Amino acid sequence: MTVDTLNVFLLAGALVLIAAVVAVRVSLKLGLPSLVLYLLIGVGLGESGLGIQFSDPELARSFGYAALVIILAEGGLTTRWEHVRPAFGIGLSLATVGVVVSTAVVAVIGHYLLGLDWLLAILLGAVFAPTDAAAVFSTLRRMPLKRRVSGALETESGLNDAPAIVLVSILSASDGPNESLVILGLTVVYELLGGAAVGYLVGRIGAAILRSTALPASGLYPLVVLTLTVLAYGTGSVAHMSGFAAVYVSALVLGNAQLPHRAATRSFVEGLAWLSQIGLFVMLGLLSSPSDMPGAFVAAIVAGVALTFIARPISVWASTALFSMRRREKLFLSWAGLRGAVPVVFATVPLAEGVERADWLFAVVFIVSVVFTLIQAPTLPWLAGRLGMAPTFSARDAEVESAPLERIDADLIHVRVTPGSKLHGVEVGELRVPPEVGVALIIRGDTSLVPGPQTKLLHGDEILIVAPRALRRATELRLRAVSRRGRLAGWFGEEGRDEPD
């Protein structure tokens, strides 16, 4: 690469990145997932658009894996363990049992309805089995959901890449799968558990080192934290374990450790995750061949319907059979299994290995990812409301630079008084949060005010609360209790616990 070529590459890359950032605003306004717009940008730049030629599936697979590492790291680092812990077992079951059941159902339909040979049919099911971490994290975190539901979906999307990629890699091998089903199952279990163990060890050791070591610059902390997650991925992969499980678990451990400069770390990894998503989706759009899609369109619609309306619901019901879940929660989990770009990345594996009809498979997966993401993602907020998946009270971190809060080990919490909340009319002094917790600011319409003990809360108010980290849980419990039963919540036996399942 010459300097002139580098200059052109940087100019084009900057223009594409700016277009992608603008696409985020457009997608939010239209209620569409941004990943679809990124894929379409790639298609527009490719052979049927501006004519940029990119047809290297091996390079696409490598870049895809690298992007997924950053996306999973961001997902783990920004996930609160207290939110996913109640649903971790459900998420793990969806990531393992769900992958197997979904693969089997799609394979049977592909073989008998689409006339595919068994190898290609099982490969189709395995590629479609995992949900997309980027799509799930970006879509679900923009709308409030009950912790049990959101925790299950986040855990599933963080862990289900591991068993799926093992199946896809074995099925795509040049000599095909030679192992028995028992050996194949044991391999998946070994890779998943081994990767999780590696990630846990790297996360715990890394957190202990960072807590006891003063780095010379605050900007090094985010870099070291991200590097530790990449170290977990590399260690797991070299040891023939699941690198994807390792990176997610290590990030989950690090993200929930009491480390310095957590806000800066979150901002750093979120920016890199956005860059990874943009680069990944645009690259996959470049790799696609629109000329192959008409011949794959009917099969893609059949496969998408089978996946969305048959395989996903069956896998959810099978995965949650041993857990106490309401039918409406299972219905939402069934519809919220967004596929996005991960299946497209996994479809590059048989393409790189030269599997017969791999180009047709890639076209099918690409069409399903675009069409059914456009159908599912915009309807999730409506469905959540219809099924009662939105919590009556929701507190989240305020996205601000909070170095002084880091020094006193506190969080800045953002609470909104929603319509129907019994926080309306309650005075600040009647909240009776722990004495060390301060209600710092109320934003009411276009104005703000510093509240006193007699200041009444009103519907639509947004409240900023400073809470020491050790008292965050108690603060949220009290606020949730008042939101449900009013200022006399304690007299009614309301303690603000998570809503019953």
Helix H segments across 113-180?
Answer: 118-128, 133-140, 147-159, 161-172
For the chain, the distance separating the N- and C-terminal CA atoms, rounded to the nearest angstrom, is 58
CB 471 within 8 A of CB 436: yes
Tokens of 390: 């939105």
Edge-to-edge strand ranges of the sheet holding 410-416 = 395-397, 410-416, 462-468, 438-444, 447-449
- In whole angstroms, what is the distance from residue 154 CA to residue 488 CA? 35
Q: Which two tokens stand for residue 298?
A: 């009917």
Phi, psi of 131 (to 5 degrees): -80, 165
Q: Is 6 buried (19+), middle (13-18) or exposed (0-12) by CB count in 10 A?
A: exposed
CB 102 within 8 A of CB 333: no
The greatest distance separating any two alpha carbons of the chain, rounded to the nearest whole angstrom, comes to 75
**Neighbour-count burial of 39, counting CB atoms closer than 10 A to its CB (0-12 exposed, 13-18 middle, 19+ buried):** buried
- Cα 407 → chain centroid: 30
Which amino acid is located at 324 in the chain? S
Q: Hey, what are 416's tokens? A: 């909104």
Domains of the chain, earliest start first: 3-19+57-387 (1.20.1530.20), 395-492 (3.30.70.1450)
Q: Cβ contacts of residue 76 below 8 Å, gap of 6+?
A: 158, 229, 247, 248, 249, 250, 251, 252, 253, 254, 255
- pLDDT values of the chain reduced to their tens digit, one per residue, 501 residues: 688 888 888 888 888 888 888 877 777 666 666 777 788 888 888 777 777 887 888 888 899 899 999 989 998 898 888 878 888 899 999 998 999 999 999 999 999 999 999 889 999 999 999 888 777 766 666 667 777 888 888 888 888 888 888 888 888 875 555 666 677 778 778 888 899 999 999 999 999 998 888 788 878 889 999 999 999 999 999 998 889 999 999 999 998 887 877 778 888 898 898 888 888 888 888 888 888 888 889 999 999 999 999 999 999 999 999 898 889 999 999 998 888 778 888 999 998 888 888 889 999 998 998 888 888 888 888 888 888 887 666 666 555 555 566 666 788 888 989 888 899 999 999 999 998 999 999 999 889 999 999 999 999 999 999 988 888 888 988 998 899 888 888 887 888 776 544
CA distance linking residue 193 with residue 212, whole number of Å: 29
pLDDT at 501: 43
**Confidence (pLDDT) at 311:** 94
pTM higher than the cut 0.85: no
How many Å apart are CA 272 and CA 268, to the nearest integer?
6
DSSP-assigned letter for residue 469:
G
Long-range contacts of residues 136-140, Cβ cutoff 8 Å, at least 24 apart: 136/336, 136/338, 136/340, 137/71, 137/74, 137/75, 137/78, 138/33, 138/34, 138/35, 138/277, 139/33, 139/338, 139/377, 139/380, 140/336, 140/380
Distance separating alpha carbons of residues 160 and 168, to the nearest angstrom:
13
Kindly state the tokens that stand for 308. 């969305």
DSSP state of 257: S
Buried b (16+ CB within 10 A) or exposed e, 59-96: ebbebbbebbbbbbbbbbbbbbeeebeebbebbbbbbb
CA distances, 60 to each of 49, 55, 56, 67, 431 (Å): 19, 8, 6, 10, 54
Distance, C-alpha 138 to centroid of its chain? 6
**pLDDT at residue 313, rounded to an integer:** 95
User: Phi/psi class of residue 354: alpha, beta or left (left: φ > 0; alpha: ψ in -120 to 50)?
Assistant: left
